[in-house]
Structure 1
C-alpha cells in the first residue's frame, strides 16, 4: 500500500473523497471501521477499502465513466458505505435516493439525474419492478444491481451485487475525479413541487468534514451510531467524517427504540444523532432503565430547538446536546449551539461553524447588523456550499447569489453572534398587518411542561386575514387544554402573537430528516378560522 502512494503520489495530492478511504486503510488498516449491528458484520478499514475497490472495478467494467450518475436505493448498510467510496474513487456521481418514496417519485429522480445505474436492496424489489414495468424505454438506467442480503434469487432483469463484487479487482482504480468535480447529487425532500438535486463536489465534502470536525468534539476512538437514513446529508456527512477521522461507525438498518438502546449498550456508543422528538421518546422508553448508556458523551440534534427541560434531563444522565442547523445545500454544516451555551441561549441554533460564514439581509438586500432585533433572511457561504441545483439554472440563480446561499430561513442575530431561526419565509403568518413567525410560537409551546411538540400554521381569517393555529402533541401523562396553553403563551409572548386557536393531536407529520411537513398540515387544517 505504501509503495502505491510512492508510485502515484501526484494523484493523492488531489481531493478525492474515495481516496480518503485508501489513505485511512494505509494508516490504520486493522482498526474497526464499520459495524452492521443487526447482522453483526464487522469490517476493518483495510477490508472496507478492498470491497470498495472491487465495486469500483465492477462499475468500470460496466462502462461507468467519470461524471456518470449512479443512483442508490439502499437502506443503511455496508453496501451503502462501500459503494459511496467506490463511486467517488472512479469519479462517478452518487445519487442517494430516499427509499421512502414511491415509484413515481423515484422515477422522477432517475430521469432528472439521468442515472445510468441503480443499486438497490432486495426489499425494494416490488418498487423497482414497478419502475421496470412498461417503462424500460423511459428510464435512463442501463444496469440494475441488486443487493440480495440473503433474500430470494435475483430477478433476471437485474445483476447480483454480491456476485459481481466477488469478481472485482482489488487494486486501486485510477482517480476519476477531484477537487470541484461532482461527488453526489442529493435531492431535497420535495415538500412543495418536485425535489431539486443539490450538487456537491469532492472539495465541498472535504470542507464539510473539516468544518464539522473542527467545531464539534469528534475523536479517533469514538463509536458513532448511524441510525438515521444514510440517504440524508445529516448521515452522509458523518459517514465520510468517520473515515477521515479514523473513528468507528455502527450502522443500524432500521431505527427502533429497543434496538437502539441495546446497540448503545453493547457497542459502547459515544455519539449519535437524533431529532428532539426522538430524544423525548428515549427518555420515557422502558429500555433506558434496562440498558447502560453511560458511554454516550454527546448527541447531535437538529430540525428544531431543544427545550431546557429536555437538555436538563439528558444532562442528568451525563449527556450533552450539540444543536445544529444546516441544509442539504450546505452539505450539512451551518451553525452549532454548543452545550455550554444551550441554557443561556435556549431557542438559538448557535453561531456559525468553523469555515462557515453568514449574514442576514432585509427585504431590500441590505445587511442587518449583529445585535439588531430586526429579522431577516439567513445567508451562508463557505467552500462546503452546493455548486448548483442539478439541471435547474433558474433555482440555482435564485439560491446562489454572489457566492451566498440564500437559505429561505428568517432569523435574528444577537450581539454575541447567536442565530435564532424565526421561520421559513413562506411560513410567515401576517395577522392584522403584523408579521408572526410560527417557529417562535413553536419554541414557546415546546418549552411548556405539558407539551411534547408543537406546530403552528396560519389559516384564513375574515377578521385578521390570517390567524395562527397551534397543533399540539401532549407530553406523556399531561392533559393540556386550550385555556392552559393560551395562558402559557400569554406569559411568554407579546399579545398579538398569542394563538387564539389550539388543537391537541396525536402526532405531527415529518419528513425523514425530522422536519415538520407544514404543507401537509395546511392541507389537513385549511380553515377558515371562526373569526
Structure 2
C-alpha cells in the first residue's frame, strides 16, 4: 500500500467522522474530520477538472485557515505538489517562486488581490499560471478578470474520493527558504518524509489523542504544516489563528481549552508581558514547544509558575521540522542547549575534515542530521543539493558543540543567517537588495541582539562617493523589494568594509566592532 498523506485524512474521516478537526476562531468556523475530508475531496475534484495532474505544482498564497488545510490534503490526494508561499513576501519575491517552481495553479486569499494583480500582469514571472482561484471575502467582488470563484467551484464539485495519484517517495510539497545567494531555494519533501516527520514528533514529545493544538505560526512554515498533519494522524483538534492577535489568542486558549502549541521565543516573551494574559485562564495548557533560539532560564521559570513547561526544539525546513529536542526536565541544567536527537533522527558533529567529534570534547563542528524525514533535495539545484546531502547526511551549516550527554549547543551559523522573531533572514538577500540602491557602493549585513526580536539585522553601508543616503531612504527602498520583516531597521555608515588580502569580507571583524544590541 502506498503512503499518501492525503489518504490519512480519508482514513481519519472514517474512524473519527464527528470529531472536531479544526476550529478557526476569527471566522468562527468549525469542521469535523468528515466535513474536512468532504471539502478536501471537492477541491481535489476541482483541480482535476482544471487539468491538474500528478507532479504538477499548485501554489498557495493563503493565510492560516480551513481553506489552506483542505487544499493541502486535496493536492496530496491527487499526487500534485503543494508550493506554500510566504504571504509576507512582495510581488517580485513571489514571482520568482512561481517562475522557479513552474506552478500553473495558484489559490489565494482575496486580501492579496493587489499583489495578485501585480503578478497576473507580469508576463515574465507568472506567464505559466493558467488558473488563479480566489478564496472570497463575503460580499467583496474580485477586481481581477482572471480570478475564479473558489467557493462556487467547490460547491458544484462532487465530494467523492479522487483516485490517489502519488505516494511514498513522490513529491508532496516544495517549501521555499531564503538562500545565502540571495535567491530562495525550494526544499523538496515527499509523502514518506512527512510521514516520518509526524512519527518523529509524535514519539518524542507528549502529544495525545484529543489534544487541542493552538496554531499561531503561519502554515507556509514547516513548523506549522507538520502539526497540521500530526493532528489528522493523531485525531487532535487544531485551533487556527489567522493572525497573531494577543486578545484573540488568549481568549481562544481559554474558550477552546487549548492543551499544547508551538511558538517562538519572541512570541512567548510577548505573551508574558501583554496585559491580555491577566484576563484569561491558561489552566488547560500542558506544554509549549518553541524553536529558533534558546529560551533563558528566567522565561522558563515564568512559564513554569503558570503551570506550563517548555520543550525547546531545533529543526530546519530541510529536515521537515524535527531535529533535536530539549525536554522540560533538562531545560535549566542544559540551558542554551537545543537538546538531543529526536526519535527516528540520527545526529553527528563533524570537523572541517569530516571526522566525527566525540561527545564532551568542547570542539566546535558542523551539525549533521540523518533520518527518513530529511529532504529529497533542492528543486532544480543539483549543486546545492550535493553540498547539503552527503552520504545520507544533511549538513545543516550550523556550528555547535555536543556535551557528554549528547546535548547540542548551537554556537554560530556557518551561513550567517539571522533569526529575527522566529523568521529566518539571510544577509546575502538583504545585501543584494541594498547594493541596488544608486547611492550605495557596498553593504554588509550582520545580526545584532534585540530584546524584542532576539536578533535583528544591522546593515553596514558604504555610500557612493559624494552621496549621502538617509536611513529613511534606504528603509523605503528595502520595503519596495523585501517583505516587511526582512527590512533592516538598524544602519551604520562606514568609509570601507574590512577585507583580508584576498578581498574576502571579514564579517567577524564587523561583529566585534558593532557588538552593541539594538535599541529595541
State the TM bucket, normalised to the shorter chain: 0.7 to 0.9
Structure 2 CA distance for aligned equivalents of residues 222 and 300 of structure 1: 14
User: Which of 100, 105, 119 is 2:107 aligned to?
Assistant: 119
CA RMSD of aligned residues (A): 2.5
User: Which of 252, 261, 266 is 2:241 aligned to?
Assistant: 252
Q: Does 1:102 align with 2:87?
A: no
Q: Does 1:222 align with 2:200?
A: no
Structure 2 CA distance for aligned equivalents of residues 331 and 82 of structure 1: 20
**Counterpart mapping for 1:498-513 below 5 A:** none
**Counterpart mapping for 1:423-462 below 5 A:** 423-427=412-416
Change (3 A) 1:343 1:134: closer
**Counterpart mapping for 1:23-422 below 5 A:** 23-135=11-123, 138-154=126-142, 155-190=144-179, 192-422=181-411
Structure 1 CA distance for aligned equivalents of residues 11 and 236 of structure 2: 14
Instruction: Give the paired residue count.
Output: 446
What's the counterpart of residue 503 of structure 2? Answer: none
Post-superposition CA distance 1:118-168 (Å, at most 9, x none): 000000000000001242785211111000031521332111011011111
Secondary structure class of the residue paired with 1:215: coil
Change (3 A) 1:530 1:418: closer
Unaligned runs of 5+ in 1: 1-12, 429-437, 443-454, 458-465, 476-508, 510-515
Are 2:98 and 2:125, in contact at CA under 8 Å, matched by a contact in 1? no
Are 1:122 and 1:151, in contact at CA under 8 Å, matched by a contact in 2? no
Structure 2 CA distance for aligned equivalents of residues 292 and 244 of structure 1: 29
Q: How big is the shift at 1:472?
A: 4.3
What's the counterpart of residue 469 of structure 2? Answer: none
Secondary structure class of the residue paired with 2:153: helix
Are 1:107 and 1:139, in contact at CA under 8 Å, matched by a contact in 2? no
Q: Does 1:20 align with 2:8?
A: yes
Normalising by structure 2, report the TM-score: 0.82
Q: How big is the shift at 1:189?
A: 3.3
Structure 1 CA distance for aligned equivalents of residues 73 and 86 of structure 2: 19
Are 2:175 and 2:187, in contact at CA under 8 Å, matched by a contact in 1? yes
Unaligned runs of 5+ in 2: 428-443, 454-477, 479-484, 498-509, 516-520
- Structure number with the bigger relative contact order (C-alpha 8 A, sep ≥ 6) is 2
Stretches of 4+ aligned residues off by more than 2 angstroms: 136-139, 189-192, 468-475, 519-531
